[in-house]
Amino acid sequence: MSGAAPAKPVEPWRQRLIRSLLYGRNVDRAAKARARVGLAILAFAGVYILIGSRLVMFAIGADAHSARRAAAQEVVATARPDIVDRNGAILATDVKAASLFGEPRRIIDKDEAIELLTATVPDLDEAEVRERLSARKGFVWLKREITPKQQQDIHKLGIPGIGFLRENKRVYPTGNEVAHLIGLVNIDNQGIAGMEKWLDNNGLADLHRAGFATDRLQKPIELSVDLRVEHALRDELLKAKEKFHAKAASGIISNVKTGEIVALVSLPDFDPNNPKEAHDPDRINRLTTGVYEMGSTFKAFTLAMALDSGKINLNSSWDARGNLHYGKFTIHDSHQLGRFINTKEVFTYSSNIGAARIALSQGVEAHKTFLAKMGQLTRLRTELPESAAPLVPRRWGELNTVTIAFGQGLSVAPLQAVMGINALVNGGYLIPPTFMKRSESEATAMAKRVIKQETSDKMRYLMRLNAEIGTAKTADVKGYYVGGKTGTSEKVINGRYAKKRVLNSFTAIMPSDDPKYQILIMLDEPQALPETKGFITSGWNAVPTGGKVIERIAPLLGVEPRFDLPPSDRLILAASRATQ
């Protein structure tokens, strides 16, 4: 049987059992192989789909984190508009600065991350970083406003869950120059003082919340201040403060016809780029936040009140032969005249006795009513949030009228005194001060007449006369027809007036025949020098300082010098009579 096929080996029963259990009976092995290949393909496809979906989820999750961070950024450090002076010079602007954040849930080794971060940025507080990274949050700030080098060094560490956000950081290119006027912002770019706070209080904060405060949607805020004039004023005040060893110095330059504040300086000041300095209580804005007895500059209000009533004139006579005794109080003059003096002499000799008698001739109620009308008895509101209410006597009797007549017993913010003096010389219109640009027509629309034109003419005459022959002679810069009034206020120390500790002021106008600007200079506790012959009164320090300021700022303000002008009685009074 050599042609018969070889017999198939007998399959052990155990293998037959396993095969039948795995494949069943009568199965097509080729079809089964194809099925297994298809199953493998499906398995691999499923794995890839799973991986792809996870990647998509991570991407979406990362975007969500970014969105949340962006939203947080919009809340705490959103863009602010530039602030510029009246000529377009930038006073405040935003720049981009990197801030360091962490996502605690994504950090694998927190101890390592903390060690690396604190080693790279030494001013990071390890305990604070550990506390923040241990929080069960998705996002925490670690350090705001880091330097580019710090950002680069941290980036090189490659720590998962540590990243950077570019935030808006407020910077002030002019530094201290306009500090008290501009104010400053906090770490979240929110205004906390000055015009920065005013911005937030007047709609910027609402724009932030609505998401409309973007860089492209905000126009610069134009202020009334002139940076050139501001610099000149501050420079002269710094020199005067140092020369006379004064505790503080401050000044305002105001447009008498519009109420615009062209310059405002209060020393010592601060750098808004270094917010810690602003917390020093000695660096307050003395011109709006402080209230002071303004001394003899208040005699301008006393004389204007009486002249406007028509009950007295410039030649009315007042008894200054001796001291004025009122109860247990004695009113005296710095320079005893020992005779009757006229109204003009009350002003040029700065007579306390004469001013007191003039005020008494009008009566207590008339005095109160006039000062209220001039805006001296209520808090002055401007764009600057920092303002103080005047200190007014609770019970205003004759003695109060006597002392307030020459600037004692009533404390006001210097800016509101400036507002009142503006009204005395601009034709008789009280115009609210502003730190925003304002036209003369806009000012006229809100102006309120408080004295007659004739009275304003007489006050301009008296102020010019005082620069010609009185206490303001050292501020009479040739060509600018300056007028002015001095003030020396003894400070109240432990309930008593201290003769050697004074607050000096000098208010000037230019030109006196048609005033455009008022200048207020204040020196707190100036000291006597050999060149002042031991005197500390305003005429020896505040007045010459005012003269130097006028000499520098007049050309900047476009005030052209005029020489060989006639004296005040012919140029101002004669012109006033001719128009009546």
Catalytically active residues, by annotation: 296
- Among 348, 352, 371, 359, which Cα is nearest to 486's? 348
Rounded-to-integer distance, Cα 466 and Cα 508, Å: 10
Long-range contacts: 547-550, Cβ < 8 Å, 24+?
A: 547/474, 547/475, 547/476, 547/477, 547/482, 548/236, 548/239, 549/232, 549/233, 549/236, 549/251, 549/253, 549/519, 549/521, 550/475, 550/477, 550/480, 550/482, 550/508, 550/510, 550/519
Directed axis angle between helix 299-309 and helix 453-469, to 10°?
140
List the beta strands (DSSP E) in 218-323.
221-222, 248-255, 261-267, 292-293, 317-320
Rounded-to-integer distance, Cα 339 and Cα 320, Å: 5
Both structure tokens of 112: 């390592």
Q: How many CA atoms lie within 13 A of 537 on its CB side?
A: 14
> Are 183 and 195 a contacting pair, CB within 8 Å?
yes
- Among 370, 350, 227, which Cα is nearest to 294's? 350
Residue given tokens 């028509």 in the structure block: 310
With b for 16 or more beta-carbon neighbours within 10 A and e for fewer, the 215-234 pattern comes to: eeebeebebbbbbbbbbbbb
Q: Which residues, 6+ apart, have CB-to-CB distance to 315 below 8 Å?
A: 342, 343, 344
Secondary structure class of 30 (helix, strand, coil): helix
